[in-house]
Amino acid sequence: MTLLIAALGATSVAVPGAAAADPPPPANASEALTKLTELNKEAVKLTEEWHNTRDDLDRRRKDQDSAKTQLDQANREAGTARDSISTYRVEVDKLAAASFDNVSLNPVATLMTSGSPQDFLDRMLLLDIISSERKDTLEGYRRALQLAETAQRRAEEAGRRAGEAEVQANRLLGELDQRKTEMDRRVASAKAQLDRLSARDRGALTGGGQTNYTVNDIPQGLAQQAMQKALGRQGKPYVWGATGPDTFDCSGLLFWSYRQLGVTLPRSSRDQARVGTAVTRDQLRPGDFVAFYQPVGHIGIYVGDGKMVHAPQGGDTVKVSGVMWGDLVAMRRLG
């Protein structure tokens, strides 16, 4: 059974404004590489914002479903309480009209109309029973009224939450379309620039790190198993928005690795950087998440010795590289 690990709290990101047209292609190879680096950053940022909006939309839809479920339950409880009120009201009306052989419920009147001491005692015993029944009936009526009022308030609150969640979900759907359009445009620009690179610049882009890194003799907890899954995808190409099994972006690599173990992470690097518990640099161990930039725009899995496995950028592949300590903003441990 799939286990869903939700992010802690919602994150809202402003919708990007309309971007200016891309500048003309650079005149030389070094400028081409520089331009690709910038386009990669923009494409990654927009892709992660798109993922983040999707995560936020999923949360709002879950909130909406939960609120609707609570609304249905509250309405059922309110209906049951109203039925109880109707039942007790009949009994209360009977009590109000009761005379019991024209005997008043006033003890003094009972004494005055009694034919003998024994008759008086018999009538008083009857009055005690009537009073007890009347008290129980009235108390039940009062409780039924309170339950109905409480259920009605719960139904109104659940209805309000459901309405708000629906409004937020619809807003996020609009933002998602906007982000997707801008993301696709930036990704297309980055791909086109990548195609213009010379073999030398491609080498400069993908240089550093390694694609045959192995880790042995470590505990096999959930995080370490996921790390090994990620290491098994070394050499697979980076593709914006991809979640495997043969292409990945940075958060897609973590998402895929945990999914193989029956665990569903949030899709965006920003929300992935919130799962689990925070650790410090001196506490880092293989399997921990390492996240970069502010707001978070890149993420990888720590493998030890100051290195991480990650999907770096367009044109590159899944690999093990040194942790970018200067850009590190979050370290998290899951499990």
Catalytic residue among 172, 250, 253, 320: 250
Q: From the centroid of its chain, how far is CA 212?
A: 36
Euclidean distance between the first and final Cα of the chain, in Å?
17
- Please report, for residues 22, 107, 153, 273, the alpha-carbon distance to residue 189 in angstroms, rounded to integers and kept in the order given: 8, 96, 54, 28
> How far is residue 246's CA from residue 49's CA, in Å, rounded to a whole number?
23
User: Is residue 208 classed as helix, strand or coil in its secondary structure?
Assistant: coil
Do 4 and 264 form a contact (C-beta atoms < 8 A)?
Answer: yes
Catalytic residue among 310, 319, 332, 333: 310
- Please report, for residues 3, 130, 190, 195, 275, the alpha-carbon distance to residue 6 in angstroms, rounded to integers and kept in the order given: 10, 59, 31, 38, 7
Element (H, E) at 224: helix 222-231
116 φ/ψ angles, rounded to the nearest 5 degrees: -160, 165
DSSP string, 290-323: EEETTTT-EEEEEEETTEEEE--STT-BSEEEE-
Q: How do beta strands 263-264 and 3-4 pair? A: parallel
Catalytic residue among 298, 307, 319, 332: 298
- Please report, for residues 5, 108, 196, 294, the alpha-carbon distance to residue 310 in angstroms, rounded to integers and kept in the order given: 21, 92, 25, 18
User: Is residue 14 classed as helix, strand or coil in its secondary structure?
Assistant: coil
Q: Assess whether 51 carries a catalytic annotation.
A: no
Strands ordered across the beta sheet of 319-322: 277-278, 328-333, 289-292, 298-304, 307-310, 319-322
320 φ/ψ angles, rounded to the nearest 5 degrees: -105, 125
Q: Assess whether 298 carries a catalytic annotation.
A: yes
Do 268 and 48 form a contact (C-beta atoms < 8 A)?
Answer: yes
**Six-digit token string for 22:** 């891309």
Q: Where in the sequence numbering do the catalytic residues fall?
A: 250, 298, 310
